[in-house]
Structure 1
Amino acid sequence: MPIRPFRISVPDDDIEDLHRRLDRTRWPSAFSGAGWEDGADALYLRELVRHWRHRYDWREREAALNRHEHRIADIDGVDIHFIHAKGQGPSPVPLLLLHGWPSSFVQMLSILPLLTEARDDGTPCFDVVAASLPGYPFTSFPDGPGMGFARMATLMTRLMVEELGYERFAARGTDQGGLVQRRIALATPERLIGLHRSGVTPFASPMPTDLSPAEVEYQRQAQEWAPRETLYARLQAQRPETLAPALSDSPVALASWFIEKFQRWGDTRAGVDAAFGRDRLLDNLSLHWFTGAGAASVRIYREAIRDLETPARVEVPTAIMVPLNDAVNPPAPREWAERSYNVARWTVMERGGHFPEWEAPDVVADDIRAFFAQFV
């Protein structure tokens, strides 16, 4: 089936249902002294829900989202949603952008014009394909086991090569998107011009025995961090079906589960709204709510532990950005990353956190353009 245009169109009944559920929220009793260190801040969450119900205009936001060129590709019965933003200069470089959890293609919207514009600085522009992973808004939801990162990598490669006709392409990813692109680099390195990603995992099995002093300190920090910051992942990997009904039935449960991650993982020194924008946060929440992706996306963690890769080094030239304000894990030293990647560019980000295309699109776009300039 050929690629087909797509427009977001949420039925009126679904919007009314959301409003009814928000109106009928059963809030927990107050608990003095609780704040973000205890989970989702109750005062912020209540204000966000009031905004969602009374000031946030979905139809207005839907129209803005539809200004982008949304497409759907059917690949072996799996619908893959993507935004296709064409480069404005000569010989644009094809670039696959992939998000992670609990985000969506919304993460990429601000960076698109910075990547497609033509500049006179010797850097390339890009034909950007901002794709949605399976289990996320408008891409098919897996209805059983088997949709791990390796399968996603195959689908995304086929989207770029077979459906869109790009024999080779650049790739940029964060979180799960970065893990999918790592699988592309290991399975079909000849398809990639280069890889651009944020951060690396601190985990390794077996742990190397020749760690540098910087790596020893990094692992010490990771051992302190992991029990505190990976609880959500352990739940989603081991017991996703316990959580799924709450995320499907209650928009406030969805908001609470998601927003705490944005606050903790983002560069929120000036506040959550300052980092992400309240309406843009609600765009992401609304898309997950209306499509049911809030529950579907957490199941990916279950698939991830069933689909462990064999340790291997990515030899594709790789640029790694290290956000200093990403609380998902401590900043890694370069030598740790070089164990897993052919690191050709290393950038420390003073601004931005776990969702850098959203938080600091200018910084990320400039780094992408500078890195891929060497290949054109």
Structure 2
Amino acid sequence: MDIQPYRIAVPQADVDDLADRLARTRWPDELPGVGWSRGVPLEFLKELAAYWADGYDWRATEARLNEYPQYVTEIDGQPIHFLHLRCDDPGALPLVLTHGYPSLFAEFTALIEHLRQDFHLVVPSLPGFGFSTPVREAGWALGRTARAWAELMRRLGYGRYGVHGGDIGAGVSGAVAGLDGEHVAGVHVVTDARTAASTATFLPGMADGLDPQDEVDRLILDRMAAFRSEGSGYLAIQNSRPQTIGYLLNDSPAGQLGWIAEKFEEWTDLPYDRDQLLTIVSLYWFTGSGISAARHLYEQAHSTDWGAPAAVPQGLSVFGADATVRRLLNPSADTFWTEHERGGHFPAMEAPQALAADLRAFFGQLK
């Protein structure tokens, strides 16, 4: 039951070690003219690494993050780190924001600024991500994480709350709503057309009945095929051999940087701030959580613990929207549904104002 205040304080020796490792990176060669077709281009990553070493200000970032009240508690044997911001209205609805991969609580900083006057905000780090480390045992898939979130909200004294997330966070949020429907007012998730199609490649039944002769279905099937052939390598490795890739992620900052920067570059639709990218990469690096985050994907890939279906009001915001997402998700008539022409996998970072408006509209009708 113990909840302790937490403050980020990375030792200077770790900051110096990062700069030293970046300076001594053993860069590979590169074939001419291949661009992004075989992974992150050499010059792109060298320039980003140079800025990380001698331009990006970790101490300034650390100070900004520490402006948010942070705490840590142990649930089911696992340290859980979270932000907790109470708004001025004591009757405001508490809202849990859950990040996905490859992300962390820091993705939500811009969104928090748009929401902190409307909700009590709880922003946990998934087990094995950032400061929710170390992970001491196997089994932290969606269902177990959802049970931890329900327990966290009970410890904080909230009898009714909303849940929101994207990617892994969408799965966790849905599982919390299914598990703790007595206390969950509603569940809101986000997706985009690319994510929806890639999810359909491994989520059983999601793509059943698609007709190759139908224009919309053909686009979905083409995206699924492209993901399997060109975009699923990271997932295949982390779902099967997380320990092996962990040696790279834990020992080489250039390797950790490339592993995440590739996804930011490929999965965003709107411009992103490279300092925010480097904040997320730095948090992975300083906490050594690249490997435990990889293991989280392994746990879910080998688990049947997806949680129970949610029986509470549901909302969904689609970014980079087209007809494919509605076809895949087939929402019920009473689902709160909004579509945004632009945006990608990280809407809290790419389009925080639009996402905040959707969250206020959905949860406002439930308050």
Does the alignment reach a TM-score above 0.5? yes
The Cα of 1:320 is off from its aligned counterpart by 0.9
After superposition, where does 1:175-186 map in structure 2 within 5 Å? 175-186=167-178
Partner of 2:204: 205
Is contact 1:202–1:332 with CA below 8 Å preserved after alignment?
A: no
Q: For residues 24 and 310 of structure 1, what CA distance do their matches in structure 2 show?
A: 43
Partner of 2:160: 168
| Cα shift readout 1:22-80 (whole Å, capped 9, x = no counterpart) | 11011112321132232112222111111111111211211111111111122233211
Q: For residues 146 and 32 of structure 2, what CA distance do their matches in structure 1 show?
A: 47
Return closer, same or farther for 1:312/1:152 CA change in 2, 3 Å cut-off.
closer
- Amino acid of the residue matched to residue 216 of structure 1? D
Runs of 4+ displaced beyond 6 Å:
none
Q: For residues 115 and 348 of structure 1, what CA distance do their matches in structure 2 show?
A: 20
| Cα shift readout 1:134-170 (whole Å, capped 9, x = no counterpart) | 0111112323321111111110110012x11111210
Partner of 1:225: 226
Instruction: Tell me the secondary structure at the aligned position of residue 145 of structure 2.
Output: helix
After superposition, where does 1:86-105 map in structure 2 within 5 Å? 86-89=86-89, 91-105=91-105
Answer yes or no: is 1:193 the counterpart of 2:193. no
Give the alignment partner of residue 342 of structure 2, picking from 348, 351, 373. Answer: 351
Return closer, same or farther for 1:331/1:101 CA change in 2, 3 Å cut-off.
farther
Q: For residues 210 and 311 of structure 2, what CA distance do their matches in structure 1 show?
A: 21
Return closer, same or farther for 1:172/1:30 CA change in 2, 3 Å cut-off.
same
| Cα shift readout 1:259-286 (whole Å, capped 9, x = no counterpart) | 0001011115xxxxxx221211111111
Instruction: Tell me the secondary structure at the aligned position of residue 19 of structure 1.
Output: helix
Partner of 1:51: 51
Instruction: Tell me the secondary structure at the aligned position of residue 319 of structure 1.
Output: strand
Give the alignment partner of residue 137 of structure 2, picking from 121, 144, 147. Answer: 144
Q: With structure 1 as the length reference, what TM-score do the two structures score?
A: 0.88
Partner of 1:272: none
Give the alignment partner of residue 243 of structure 2, picking from 241, 244, 250. Answer: 241
The Cα of 1:342 is off from its aligned counterpart by 7.6
Q: For residues 74 and 152 of structure 2, what CA distance do their matches in structure 1 show?
A: 9
Return closer, same or farther for 1:231/1:137 CA change in 2, 3 Å cut-off.
same
Answer yes or no: is 1:84 the counterpart of 2:84. yes
Q: For residues 179 and 267 of structure 2, what CA distance do their matches in structure 1 show?
A: 30
Q: For residues 235 and 255 of structure 2, what CA distance do their matches in structure 1 show?
A: 17
CA RMSD of aligned residues (A): 2.2
Unaligned runs of 5+ in 2: none
366-375 vs 83-92, which deviates more? 83-92
Partner of 1:66: 66
Give the alignment partner of residue 313 of structure 2, picking from 313, 317, 320. Answer: 317
49-58 vs 197-206, which deviates more? 197-206
Partner of 1:259: 261
The Cα of 1:202 is off from its aligned counterpart by 2.1
The Cα of 1:313 is off from its aligned counterpart by 4.5
Instruction: Tell me the secondary structure at the aligned position of residue 61 of structure 2.
Output: helix
Return closer, same or farther for 1:40/1:159 CA change in 2, 3 Å cut-off.
same
The Cα of 1:335 is off from its aligned counterpart by 4.8
Is contact 1:167–1:191 with CA below 8 Å preserved after alignment?
A: yes
The Cα of 1:314 is off from its aligned counterpart by 3.1
Q: For residues 53 and 207 of structure 2, what CA distance do their matches in structure 1 show?
A: 52
The Cα of 1:226 is off from its aligned counterpart by 3.0
Is contact 2:216–2:323 with CA below 8 Å preserved after alignment?
A: no
Is contact 1:322–1:332 with CA below 8 Å preserved after alignment?
A: no
Is contact 1:317–1:342 with CA below 8 Å preserved after alignment?
A: no
Q: With structure 2 as the length reference, what TM-score do the two structures score?
A: 0.90
Return closer, same or farther for 1:167/1:89 CA change in 2, 3 Å cut-off.
closer
Partner of 2:123: 130
Partner of 2:110: 110
Give the alignment partner of residue 362 of structure 2, picking from 367, 371, 374. Answer: 371
- Amino acid of the residue matched to residue 238 of structure 2? Q
After superposition, where does 1:289-308 map in structure 2 within 5 Å? 289-308=285-304
| Cα shift readout 1:88-108 (whole Å, capped 9, x = no counterpart) | 335211000000111101110
Q: For residues 37 and 311 of structure 1, what CA distance do their matches in structure 2 show?
A: 37
Q: For residues 79 and 185 of structure 1, what CA distance do their matches in structure 2 show?
A: 22
Instruction: Tell me the secondary structure at the aligned position of residue 170 of structure 1.
Output: strand
